Each structure stands twice: as structure tokens, then as C-alpha cells.
Amino acid sequence: MTRFLVCSLLCLLGPLPGLSSQSVSSPWTGSPVVQTRFGAVQGLEDADGTWAWKAIPFARPPVGALRWCAPQDPVPWAGVRRETSFGAECTQFSEILPGQIHGSEDCLYLNVWRPRDGETGLPVYVWIHGGGNSVGSSTHISTYYGNRIAARSRVVFVSVNYRLGPFGWFTLPALRAGASAENASGNFGTLDIIQSLKWIRENIEAFGGDPNLVTITGQSAGGINVLSLLISPPARGLFQRAMSESGAALTRGMEEADAKAQDVLERFLLGDGKARTREGAAVLAAGMSPEEVCSFLRKKSDRQILSLYRVFGLGMIDNPSILRDGAVIPLQGYDALKTGEYPNKVPLILGSNADELTIFLRFGSNISWQSDLYRAASKYGSARWKVSGVDEVARRLVACAAQPPVYAYQFRWGTLDSEGKSPLPNMWGSELGSFHSLDIPFFLGNDSVMGVFQAFLFSWQNEPGRKALSAAMMGYLARFARTGDPNPPAGGPAADSPAWEPWSPAPGGPKYIVFDARGDEPAIAMSNEELTDEQVMAAASADLREPLRTRTLQYLATSPLPSGVR
């Protein structure tokens, strides 16, 4: 056996032994005990008249020899699996406690909610959490729970975990030597999400869901991951609708990922005393065989590996993700949208919030929320985020004749209006406005936001307006999940809802719908505004005076937050 096959064998390329005779799932019977392909699972009664199944494994634990390998089917089990708690979060830094690491590499679990009745053929709503692809989980906060949307929108709601940071996206020539295309991709977090969708295709009918009515949704990094699945060949046919909330169309090159992983390898060699200088570590690493590199790195604990990364805010790290490997993600990245050479042409919703950057500025920087720089950075940075995740993506998609309709939204509840007023109490309208992630509880129907922030932001005064807006947004999304069109049929329920028109390429044509509320009523209307990154940066240069102009442009140039499409 050549040394180039050793690392690929560590990934166990062939099917593993131990499969049971169970090869198909059973149909939904209304019973909380559900038979999946891999074993039976016990559901528990949850709020809003729903069943909830927690911590169902959709892949083998990616530990030991399976670290940095494509996910494999879970090991079948005997008896009935009854989990009363959610699975572990994937290994990550704490968002609150600096330097603290928690979670586990054994984290590839999903959760299912559905109404407690006998209906079958329900649409399937898949939730992909955010967190910069380095923090968070499917059940990180109660805002992500699926009981409310399952009950009100009558869907089967599935939330999934995926490997994060250097466990989800990591590559080196040694890890690629002799490996299959997927094992060599470095896109293990992306493959985890794809694996969960394969599990859904094979098992969701057992929960009463329709495997041909799957809508993938995600916010922030979850939205980035949703967009990446549009262009991912291994995800072909695994979903029929998609929604990206505050996502961005961003990919990274393999060279950048190699450099980051090489830095980790050399720092370990230094820390272990195997080299005395960085130059010596580089020479030593260059002389190691692929199997020596694989063995050396896989013997390090998850805590040891993550500790070598710098946290830049809210627990997130600068680790390249969504890698242009040529197998999981095409080498041309999102240029595939220009040519139409992308596999998943499905009805799509793209959205952003008016004040995306405030949460990062307020809690991840030393810029005072009362300063002109805070307001300028938020205004123009949030606009660039919209360009990256909405405008530019929509323009590329609608130019493709085979692309179904693309719908866009901007969430504005909480932002200051023309009179400087906000439904948020006290000064939170000025500090946060319609900040990044605030749309999540409105789409999912959960009356909570950011854990402890609920007590500060959601009040009895703004309750009627936000609940009415949430009901309207949930209605649009439920119809989209069923038909690919968020609008109600003529003469049917909610027929008087404002029309959500698809993105039009015509100058001055409809672009996106605005979600807001005035007093107790929703304020929903179409807008024909669209932006380019060049327009945003030109406006910042023209509108601001020195020294604010230079300071704002410098922040925008150095911020790790999304801009552009690549």
C-alpha cells in the first residue's frame, strides 16, 4: 500500500460494517414512535400541540479517523431511541466567555417537530443555523425551536447541526493525498448539511413530511450555506425551495485554506518542541509524509486545534469556509450563476435587514453607538451586505432563463423611521434598530430573540405590531414552502395581503418587499431600489466629510463582514 492511500483509508472510503437489515423507513402513523432507516425514535409532546424528536443522528460521529472526512451514515441501533435533550453543540469558542471552548466533535444530530395529528404530505422546512460557520447550533437559543412554525404553518420542521470552524472547513495537500473527491474537498461542514438533506429524503415520510417539498432556510452563515448549496453538485435534487436570510455569496480559494491549515501544523510543531523556529517548523513539515501529517493532526484534541485560532468577535474565528474545491463547490464559485451552470435552480427568497451591522458594532467593536462613525459604518456596511446577499445574487439569477422566480425582502422592523422613532423601547432603536438576526423570530413565530435580549427589546407596547407582522411573514413563507410562490391564490385566505412580486431585471421594476409595522399593523410594500457595491462606496465617499469619510472607508475596507460576490 502506497503512502498516498494511507490518509484516504483513514477516512474509511468504503461502506462500513454493521448495517442492520432495516433499509427503509415506515410511513407516518400518528404515533410518536417513528421507524427510520437506522432505527426507531421516540417523540415527545412539545408546546403548541407538536411532537418533537431530539438529537437524531444523521451521520457517524466525525471523530478519530473520521475527522476531516465526508460524513457517513449513522450506525443503526436496536430498540427505540428516546432523547429528552438536544445533542451537543459542535466544538466552538464561547460567544460570551473569552477564550472558553465548549461543544464536541460528536455533534451531527438533527431535530424534528411536527403537528400532533395524522396528516401526511406536509412541506418540510429545514433550518440551518448561523454563526460565521464557527459558532452556534441548531438549538443554540429557543428562537430556533420549531414548535411554533410546525403548528401554525403546518410543516415538518427540521433543524440540523454541522461541523464548525477548522473541523468543518480544513484542507492540506496531505489530507487530500489519495482521497476521494469529497474527502479531499475540505468542505466537511457543507457535506454535513448535504448529508442531513439525504437523511431527510430517505426518512422524512416517516414523520409525515413530503421529501419532494423540502425548503432549505438559513440565516447569516446559514444563509451563506444555503446559497452555496445552489451551486453544489452533490446537493442536486435534495431540495425544491430555498431562502437565505442575511446570507452572502462568498467562497474562498483552496490556497487560502491551505495556508491557514499549514499555519496550524507549523505552530503545533513549534509548540511540541519539534522545531525551535518557525522556519525550522516549515522545513520539518515539508519533510513529513502525508500519513505522518494526518496522524499528527488527528492525534490533537479538538480543544488543542481550536485554541490556535484567533477570535475576532462573538466567538467567531477567521477560518476559510465554502472552499472552491471543484467537487463540492465549483472552481468558478458564484460565477456559475452568470453562466447558468449551477445544479439547483429552485424558487428562492433572498433577504437582509436594514441595520445588519449594529449588533457587531455594538458588541464586537470599541466604536461608541453614539458616534457618527457608528451610524455611518452601520449604514454603508449594511448596504454592502444587502448587495452581497441580495442584489447581486438576484441580478445573476434572474438573467438565467431556467431560473424560477427569485423573491427578495428587506426587514425593517425596529429601525428608526423618518421621524427618528422605533418600536424598540428606550434607545435600542438608535443602538440596534433592525439588527442582524432580528427577522428570525418573525419568520419562525417565536416570541423570543437573542436570549436575554428579549426582556429589553420585546415589550407589551410593541407586541401587537410585531405579532401581526410575524403572522404575515409566516403566511408568505408557508405558501412559498407549499407552492414556490409566497402569494395567496385569488379569492383564498389572505388574498388581500400585499403582493410579493418577484425580482424584475427591468430598471425601476419591483425588487423586494419591505417588512415593517406601524403601530399595531404591518407595513408591507414593494420597493424598486437596488444597489451595487460601487454605488454604496461612492455614496459613502460623497456623503461623508473628513475625517469621518476616511474612518468609515477604513472600517469598511478592513471589516470581515460580507461584501461583494465571489
**Domains defined for the chain, CATH in brackets:** 7-346 (3.40.50.1820), 347-558 (no CATH)
Mean per-residue pLDDT for 156-173?
A: 98
In this prediction, what percent of the chain has a pLDDT beyond 90? 86
At residue 9, does pLDDT exceed 80?
Answer: no
Confidence of residue 447 (pLDDT cuts 50, 70, 90): confident
Q: Where is 52: in which H helix or E strand?
A: strand 50-57
Residue 149, Cα to own-chain centre: how many angstroms? 18
Q: What is the pLDDT of residue 4?
A: 40
At residue 17, does pLDDT exceed 90?
Answer: no
User: Per mean pLDDT, which range of 203-207, 223-227, 448-452 is the poorest?
Assistant: 448-452
Q: In this structure, what DSSP letter does residue 252 have?
A: B
Is residue 78 packed enough to be buried (19+ CB in 10 Å), middle (13-18) or exposed (0-12)? exposed
Q: How many CB atoms lie within 10 A of CB 161?
A: 30
Instruction: Map residue 70 onto helix, strand or coil.
Output: coil
Angle between the 372-386 and 533-543 helix axes, to the nearest 10 degrees?
160
Mean per-residue pLDDT for 274-301?
A: 96
Summarised one tens digit per residue, pLDDT across range 263-286 is 999 999 999 999 999 999 999 999
At residue 10, does pLDDT exceed 60?
Answer: no
Q: What is the pLDDT of residue 558?
A: 84
Handedness of CA 321, 326, 328, 334 (dihedral sign): positive
Select the more confidently predicted residue: 96 or 147.
147
Mean per-residue pLDDT for 81-89?
A: 96
| Cell 453543540 found at | 89
Mean per-residue pLDDT for 32-48?
A: 97
Q: Quick check: 125 and 181 in contact, CB under 8 A? A: no
User: Per mean pLDDT, which range of 204-208, 225-229, 505-509 is the poorest?
Assistant: 505-509
Q: What is the pLDDT of residue 2?
A: 44
Q: What is the pLDDT of residue 20?
A: 40
Handedness of CA 380, 383, 388, 394 (dihedral sign): negative
Q: Which three cell numbers stand for residue 429?
A: 432603536
At residue 226, does pLDDT exceed 60?
Answer: yes
Round to whole Å and give the CA distance between 305 and 293.
Answer: 14
Handedness of CA 21, 25, 27, 32 (dihedral sign): positive
Handedness of CA 271, 277, 279, 284 (dihedral sign): negative
Confidence of residue 493 (pLDDT cuts 50, 70, 90): confident
Summarised one tens digit per residue, pLDDT across range 392-408 is 999 999 999 999 999 99
Q: Quick check: 523 and 415 in contact, CB under 8 A? A: no
Q: What is the pLDDT of residue 296?
A: 97
Is residue 310 packed enough to be buried (19+ CB in 10 Å), middle (13-18) or exposed (0-12)? exposed
Q: What is the pLDDT of residue 95?
A: 87
At residue 468, does pLDDT exceed 90?
Answer: yes
Confidence of residue 364 (pLDDT cuts 50, 70, 90): confident
What is the SS3 string spanning 112-180? EEEECCCCCCEEEEEEECCCCCCCCCCCCCHHHCCHHHHHHHCCEEEEECCCCHHHHECCCHHHHCCCC
Q: Where is 558: in which H helix or E strand?
A: helix 548-558
Q: What is the pLDDT of residue 255?
A: 97
Q: Where is 492: in which H helix or E strand?
A: none
Summarised one tens digit per residue, pLDDT across range 306-351 is 999 999 888 999 999 999 999 999 999 999 999 899 999 999 999 9
Handedness of CA 169, 175, 176, 182 (dihedral sign): negative
Mean per-residue pLDDT for 337-366?
A: 94
Q: What is the pLDDT of residue 16?
A: 45
Round to whole Å and give the CA distance between 450 and 301.
Answer: 31
Q: What is the pLDDT of residue 451?
A: 65
In this prediction, what percent of the chain has a pLDDT beyond 70? 95
Confidence of residue 54 (pLDDT cuts 50, 70, 90): very high
Summarised one tens digit per residue, pLDDT across range 499-530 is 999 999 999 999 999 999 999 999 999 999 99
Bridge-based pairing of strands 50-57 and 44-46 is antiparallel
- Taking all residues of the chain, what is their mean pLDDT, rounded to a whole number? 93
At residue 8, does pLDDT exceed 80?
Answer: no
Confidence of residue 448 (pLDDT cuts 50, 70, 90): confident
At residue 155, does pLDDT exceed 50?
Answer: yes
Q: Quick check: 262 and 172 in contact, CB under 8 A? A: yes
Confidence of residue 7 (pLDDT cuts 50, 70, 90): very low
